[in-house]
Chain A
């Protein structure tokens, strides 16, 4: 746990994943954990330490890992599998096939997005949301902080089906209380009550690492008398349709921000939702990874891809 100057506590969502596995593992002995030689990065080593018999090292063989997990599922276990989100893509056929076996499969992809920084493009999961959303009946989560991650892991353990949990490498501030509730198809609206009176209004839909960029932008724009409503769309599939539709109807200026390629992620999901429901907005902007990434510091990469606080504020400037 790290603290910054404002005494905010920072903790990585991947670490929350490892800790949550131990907690759900204690409640349910059917839970088994498989990892492709990344257990010290995904923190599944925490589970291994407590339940060595229920942890299975799969080594660097992701395709095999997914199918082995399916085998565990069909024998009555609840398998959680994890590796870097980038490397899960090579097991897409196995995930695709698992849906035809009515799989109960929990997949976690860590080190998602350009925000991993220095390791470079080969290690960045930038297609994973598209891949996992494309599974017909999948559920896709991308939590931003420690406690939301823990709650969502619990939901994954308790519900049947193919679930994907996107995890971030960087430590992020803990923003939710541990009693806050999260659900499939849920979201969290961040809005300053006092800002409601401002005439200029912007709706920012985001999730994961870029939520914090949006919240920083929100603070700054509040001083400029702009009412920015930030929605943490941690449940990317299904989306919180009701909340998003009602806010988009009211606000009319929409920005989607995500650390993912333009195709198949949150932006396209929101765009389809608005179109299907005939919500006409005045402005719609999609800030996402639209260049081939390079190595750098996380904040440099977020800036380079124009998915950071500054990019959001600049975009708002173009609206008004």
Chain B
């Protein structure tokens, strides 16, 4: 039942990502779609502790995913997603602390893991509990700074630092150097004394298990979850396709995509009591919001 709910929330977040970027006429929907299950499970299955944990979207272009998560969490009004990337909105193209739930600006790739490492060391110095989660894109792992951080985290054995690597294979113009060669990523991280975990980044059951394993690990090492994912996941004509990076769907394409998502499931029956943390319950709304957004959307074309 819980799995079922996570699936429904994931689909709802997918819709919000697609709708908000289409209203904005820009943004990175496909890069957001690949990490939906990873982030939905982190936030809605009780793994992320708002009081003590931190999350950094190092792949700042997944901002539509970030904002959609906070909308479904009920932290921001869903209608606010309509303002994505608009002048004056706190929902900027890439996240900045103007959005209250973000502490650091990201978008210049390769910096988030270092910031997370600083937070992890700071937490250790303060003798505070809690973890620092960093969502990394696979393309940004080409940045030298990533490996500076990986190396130093290994040296300092920051067991409270957890990187989640969204390996969707595709960068802006084509395939990354390693593609889906997960074992090479694994070897690289392990050679710098990290503990690695492998997961199918769209299988909710597996993701649940991998978070449990990661959080229960007693190894005094930084941890990385290497998630094999699909860029544009959930929409057949976007999945694993080149040429869609940083492109919003047209209205026609959006309607086609939403129909596909609708077909996959009826999202009316999200059972809010199934969520681990009840404060996370703000999703038992019907399709009304989506319809409202779509109505609004028409005005933009």
The chain A residues found within 8 Å of chain B, CB to CB, are 32, 53-54, 56, 58-59, 61, 63-64, 66-77, 79, 93-94, 96-97, 100-102
Q: Knowing A71-B116, A74-B115, A94-B111 touch, does A32 contact B125 (C-beta < 8 A)?
A: yes
Distance between B74 CB and nearest chain A CB, rounded to angstroms? 24
Residues in chain A near residue B115, CB distance under 8 A: 67-68, 70-71, 74
Give the residue of B97, B103, B121 whose beta carbon is less than 8 angstroms from that of A56: B121
- Shortest C-beta distance, B140 to chain A (Å), equals 13
Residues A74 and B103 in contact, CB atoms below 8 Å apart: yes
How many Å lie between the Cα of A73 and that of B119 in the bound state? 8
B177 at the interface (CB under 8 A from A): no
Q: What chain B residues lie within 8 Å of A68 (beta carbons)?
A: 114-115, 117-118, 121, 149, 152
Contacts of A74 in B (CB 8 A): 103-104, 115, 118-119, 122
Expressed in whole angstroms, the Cα–Cα distance for A71 and B115 within the complex equals 4
CA–CA, A71 and B105, complex, Å: 11
- Contact A67/B105 with A75-B123, A76-B122 known, Cβ cut-off 8 Å: no
Cβ 8 A contact of B108, one of A53, A75, A93:
A93
Q: Are A63 and B118 in contact (CB under 8 A)?
A: no
Kindly list chain A residues whose C-beta atoms are within 8 Å of the C-beta of B117: 64, 67-68, 71
Bound CA–CA A280/B207 (angstroms): 70
Chain A's interface: helix, strand, loop or mixed, by majority? helix
Given A67-B114, A72-B119, A77-B122, 6 other A-B contacts at CB below 8 A?
A: A61-B151, A63-B111, A67-B145, A71-B117, A94-B145, A101-B96
What is the distance, in angstroms, from A69's C-beta to the closest C-beta of chain B? 6
| Distance A157 CA – B103 CA, assembled complex (angstroms) | 21
Residues 140-163 of chain B, each 1 if its beta carbon lies under 8 Å from chain A, else 0: 000011001101100100000000
In the bound complex, residues from chain B placing their C-beta under 8 Å from that of A32 are 122, 125
A63 and B144 contact, CB distance less than 8 A:
yes
Closest residue of chain A to B96 (Cβ to Cβ) is A100
Please, how many angstroms separate the alpha-carbon atoms of A111 and B97 in the complex? 34
Binding site for A on B (CB under 8 A): 96-97, 103-108, 111, 114-123, 125-126, 144-145, 148-149, 151-152, 155
Between-chain CB contacts (< 8 Å), 9 pairs: A63-B145, A67-B118, A74-B122, A75-B118, A75-B123, A76-B122, A97-B105, A101-B103, A102-B97
* Chain A proximity of B158: nearest CB distance (Å): 11
Q: Residues of A contacting B123 with CB < 8 Å? A: 75
> Taking CB as reference atom, which chain B residue is nearest A62?
B148
The distance from the CB of B181 to the nearest CB of chain A, in whole angstroms, is: 25
Residue contact B145 to A72, C-beta cutoff 8 Å? no
Given contacts A101-B97, A101-B103, A102-B97, contact A67 B111 (CB under 8 A): yes
Chain B residue numbers with a CB within 8 Å of A77 are 122, 125
Q: Which residues of A contact B155 (CB under 8 A)?
A: 59
Pairwise interchain contact B144-A100, C-beta atoms closer than 8 A: no
- The answer to whether B114 and A63 touch across the interface, beta carbons within 8 angstroms, is yes
- B-side contacts of A63, CB under 8 Å: 111, 114, 144-145, 148
Q: Tell me the minimal C-beta distance from A185 to chain B in angstroms.
A: 27
Interface centre among B103, B111, B123 (most CB of A within 10 A): B111
Q: Is A71 in contact with B118, judged by CB distance below 8 angstroms?
A: yes
Specify which chain A residues have a CB less than 8 angstroms from the CB of B114 in the assembled complex.
Answer: 63-64, 66-68, 70-71, 94
Find chain B residues with CB under 8 A from A70 CB.
104, 114-115, 118
Interface centre among A32, A70, A75 (most CB of B within 10 A): A75
